[in-house]
Structure 1
Amino acid sequence: MASLIFLTHPEVVIDPLVPIPRWPLNDTGRRRMERFADALSRVPLSSIHASAERKAMDGAAIVTERFGLPCRVHEDLGENDRSATGYIAPPEFWEVVNDFFGRPHESIRGWERAIDAQARIVKAVSRIAAEETRDTLVVSHGGVGCLLMAHLQGVEIGRESRPQHPGGGCFFVMDRESFSLRQDWLSIEEAVFPQE
C-alpha cells in the first residue's frame, strides 16, 4: 500500500525582524532533517511536496538532494494565515494558538479561522494523494499537521493527537489510497521505516 508521509519541519531560526514565512531551518533543524533523510533510505519515494514557506522548503531540499527527486511547492500547504498579527513572542503566542484550536469557527486576532485552514489543507493533501502513484513525502508545519490529523481521526479541531517534540520535526504516515491514518505521530528520532 502506497504511503503519504507527512512531516513537520524541525527547528528554525526565529527572527522577529524577518517575516515568519521566510524563517530558515537552524543548524539543529538541518541535522535532524539529515537524520530523517537517512531513515527514508528504505522508502521507495517517488515524490516530495512542500509548503511554500522557507523552513518547509529547506527541509524538503535536504531530502530532494539526497535522493535526486524533484520537489513540488504548494502555497495551500502553508500554516494558517497569521499576517494580521505577525510575530507574537511566547508565551503569548501559545495562548493565541490555544484559542485558535479551541475556537475553530472564530478568527482569533484576525488569523485565518481553523475550520477554513483545515478545509484548505485537507483539499491540498487529498489532491497530492490522488495525483501520486507511489510513496510520497509532504513537508509542512505543526499546525497544518494537527488540522489534518483532526480530519483523519474524525474528531473536533483541538481534540486530535499532537506531535510531542518541542522543536517540531514530527511525522505521521497515511495510506495514500484510502486517505486514512496508518501511523500516529512520531519524532524524527523514532523514524524506522520497513523495507517495502
Structure 2
Amino acid sequence: TAWNLGAGPERFRGRTDLPLDATGEAQAERVGRRLASVEIAAIYASPLQRARQTVAPLAERLGLPVQTHEGLFDINYGLWQGLTHAEAATAYPELHRLWRTRPDRVRFPGGESLADVRDRLRALLGQLAEVHPGQTVVLVGHQIVNKVLVCALLDLELDQIGRIGQDPAALNVFEQQPDRWDLTSLNDCCHLVGVRRAATADHQGS
C-alpha cells in the first residue's frame, strides 16, 4: 500500500482500510499464479480491502469465495494508527522503545496487545479445525498478524516476533499433525521476483 516502506514514510497501518498500490496488485497476481494448482478448500481473509485484494486473483482462478473473518484483522494500533515511526517515537518515547525491544509487553493506547491478537487467532484456528478437517485452507492477514500466528502455531513466546520475517505477499505453509503444527515454508517470496517490496525497516513491523 501507499503506507508501506518503499512507497513513502512507513506508517502504522492497523485498521486503516488502504487499497493495494500497483506493486501490491502485481504481487497479488503472482500469488494467484503460484497457488493456482493447489487443492484449496476455502479462502479466509481479513475484512480490510488490502487483504481481500491480495487474494482476489487466486479466488477468481479457483472459483472460490473470499470469506472474511475478524480474527484476521490487522492489529488495532489505537492512537498510533496512521503515525510514522518517528511520530510515534516523539509522542510516546517510552512505549515506542518498549515496542522495539519487548513488543509482547505493549498495549497500544486505545488499541490491542499482541496477546489480544493471539487470542483471536487461536479462536479462528479452533473454528477452522472443526469446519475443514484434513483440508488445505488459505488465510490472508497482515504482517504483525502473520508473525503472531507463526508464534502461536509453533508455541513461541510473543517476544520472538522480531525474529520472524514477513514480506508483503509472502507465503507461509503449515501442516497440522495430531499433536502439533509443522512449519514447511516461511516467508516464501520465490513468486515475487521483480515485484518484491522490502519488509519494514523496524523489525517489529507496522
Place the TM-score, normalised by the shorter chain, in its bin: 0.7 to 0.9
When residues 114 and 63 of structure 1 are mapped into structure 2, their CA distance, relative to the original with a 3 A threshold, is same
* Higher RCO by CA contacts (8 Å cutoff, separation 6 or greater): 1
When residues 152 and 100 of structure 1 are mapped into structure 2, their CA distance, relative to the original with a 3 A threshold, is farther
Report the Cα offset of residue 148 of structure 1.
1.2
The aligned counterpart of 2:2 is 13
When residues 93 and 141 of structure 1 are mapped into structure 2, their CA distance, relative to the original with a 3 A threshold, is farther
Aligned residues: 177
The aligned counterpart of 1:194 is none
The aligned counterpart of 2:187 is 186
The aligned counterpart of 2:63 is 68
CA distance in 2, matches of 1:19, 1:39: 27
User: Normalization by structure 1: what TM-score?
Assistant: 0.76
The aligned counterpart of 1:88 is 83
Aligned residues of 1:85 and 1:109 also touching (Cα < 8 A): yes
Matched, 1:163 2:165: yes
The aligned counterpart of 1:172 is 172
Structure 2 SS opposite 1:144: helix
What is the percent sequence identity of the aligned residues? 20
CA distance in 1, matches of 2:113, 2:43: 27
CA distance in 1, matches of 2:145, 2:137: 17
CA distance in 1, matches of 2:142, 2:65: 20
Structure 1 SS opposite 2:16: helix
> Which residue identity does 1:170 align to in structure 2?
A
Give the gaps of 5 or more residues in structure 1: 1-11, 192-196
Structure 1 SS opposite 2:126: helix
Aligned residues of 1:84 and 1:111 also touching (Cα < 8 A): yes
Farther-moved stretch of structure 1 (153-162 vs 70-79): 153-162
CA distance in 1, matches of 2:142, 2:32: 17
Give the gaps of 5 or more residues in structure 2: 90-94, 193-206
Matched, 1:145 2:133: no
Larger Rg: 2
> Which residue identity does 1:121 align to in structure 2?
L
Matched, 1:104 2:95: no
Aligned residues of 2:39 and 2:136 also touching (Cα < 8 A): yes
Report the Cα offset of residue 62 of structure 1.
1.8
Structure 1 SS opposite 2:41: strand
User: Normalization by structure 2: what TM-score?
Assistant: 0.73
